[in-house]
Amino acid sequence: MRKKSKIILAAAGFGLVLLFGGLYIHHGVYYQDHFLPKTEVENVNISKLTYAEAKQKLTDELQNSQYQLLDDKKELATISGKELGLTQQTGTTLKKIMAQQNPWGLSSKVQAGTDQTNNNVTFSTANLQAFVNKTTQSLNQNRSVTKNATLIKTDNGFKIKAEVQGNQIDAEKLMSSMKTAISKGQRQIQVSSVYIKPAITKSSSQMQTALRQVAKIEKVSGTYTIAGQTEKITSSMIRAWLTYQNGQPTLDQTAVGNYLRELNSKYATYNKTRRFQSTKRGIVSVPAGIYGWSINVSAETANLTSVVLAGKDFTRTPTIQGSGYSKDGTDIGNTYVEVDKVNQHMYVYINGALKVSTDIVTGQPGQDTPVGVWSVWAKERNSTLKGKNNDGSSYASPVSYWMPIDTTGVGIHDSSWQPKYGGDWYKTHGSHGCINTPPKIMAQVFELVPKGTAVIVF
C-alpha cells in the first residue's frame, strides 16, 4: 500500500513539473512578442500587449488626453490631445523595451516616463495658439488688471503708489507654459503661474529716480522775454502743470497750451487791429492783414515742456511764427510802405527815413484796395497781370515791377497806362485793387523795399 502511494505521489509531482514547465515555456514564448506585466509607458499600462497593440493604445491615450487650465482646484478650460493635433513617435521606445525585456521573467516593472519619450511628441502650434488666444481673451474679461507702480500727485507733492497684482493671464506666458507641459506629459497648468506681472514695482530704481526727478522739477522757475516784455513762470505754476504719465514726468499739455494762448492774446500782433502813426492823418486804426507775428503754441508747448523737465531755471523767448517780431516790441518797425487811400499818396520809409513820397491810384469804388497791414511777400520783374474787367472781359497788363502784398492778387506795380495820379482820378480810372505807381517812381520803390516789408493800407 505504501509503495503504491509513493508511486501516485511521484506521478503527481511529475505531472506538476510538466504543467509548470509547460506554462513557463508558454510564458517565455508568449512574451517574445508581448510586453511583460507591469510595463508602462507615459503612465499607460501596456502589459500583455503586442507592439502594434501598445502603439495603438498609446496613440489613443494621447488623443484622448485632456489638458486642464486650473485656478487652484477650479477648472477654467480644457483642450484634448486630438484638438491639439498631438502625435507621438513611440515606436523606437517600444522596440527598445521589447528588446531589453526578459521574456522568461515574471515581470519587467518597466516605467518609461516622459524623459524617454518627450522628444517624440509633436502638436499643432496653430491649434495651441488659437486655444490660448481664445481662452485668455474670454477669461481676462472678468479678471482684475495688473497695474504698475506709479507716481501720484497729492497736496504735499508726489508720492509712489504701489503696483497692483491682477489675475489676468499673460497669453505669451501661457503659450510657453503649455508647450512645456505637453513636452513633459503634464496635463494640468495652474494659471497663477502665468499671471501678467507688474513691470514696475514701488521698490524699483525707476520709481525712486522718478520721485527725485519730480522733486527737482517742482523747484524750477523761468522767465519769458516777449517783444521787450517779461513774463514770470513760477514754481507754483510748474507744480500745477506737472504730472506723471506712462512712466515719465511730464507737463499737462492742455494747461501749458492754455497759458501760451493767453500770452499770445496779450502780445501777438497777427490778426489784430493796430494804431498807426500816419504821415498826414495822425494816428489811424488799421485792421489786420497778413503781416504780424504770433506764438507758435503747438511748437512752444513741446519746447517749454522740454525746458522745464530739464530741471533747471531758464530764460527764453517763445517760438515765434509770422512776420514783424522784434525784441523791442515795435512790430512794424521803421522800414515800411504807407498807402494813404484818402490822400491817394504812398510813402516809403527806410530805417526811419522818408525815401519815396508819390501820388498813386488805388482801386476804383467797387474794386477797392483792401485796407490792412500787409506784407511784400514776393518781388518780380516783367510780369503780366491778368484778371477780369467790370464788364466781364479779360485783361492782361504787362508791368516791369510787381510786388504782391495780400492773398487776393493785390500788389504794388508800375502803370504806364495811367495819365495822372492822385486826387479823385481813382474814382473813375482806378485800378482793380492794386496800387498803381508812376513807372519811374516804381523802379525806386522796387529797389528800396526788401521782401517781407510791412505795407500799411488805410
Active site residues: 413, 434
CA torsion through residues 371, 377, 380, 383, sign? negative
431: which 3 cell numbers?
485800378
Within the chain, what is the greatest distance between any pair of CA atoms?
173
Distance CA 256, CA 260 (A): 6
Contacts from 53-61 at CB under 8 Å and sequence distance 24+?
A: 54/94, 55/90, 55/91, 55/94, 58/88, 58/90, 58/94, 59/87, 59/88, 59/90
* Cβ(414)–Cβ(400) below 8 Å: yes
Please state the φ and ψ torsions of residue 425, each to the nearest 5 degrees.
-55, -35
Q: Are 270 and 288 in contact (CB under 8 A)?
A: yes
Give the C-alpha separation, 323 to 320, whole Å: 9
Taking each continuous run of H as one helix and of E as one strand, the counts in the chain are: 13, 28
3-state helix, strand, coil split of the chain in percent (to 5) is 35, 30, 35
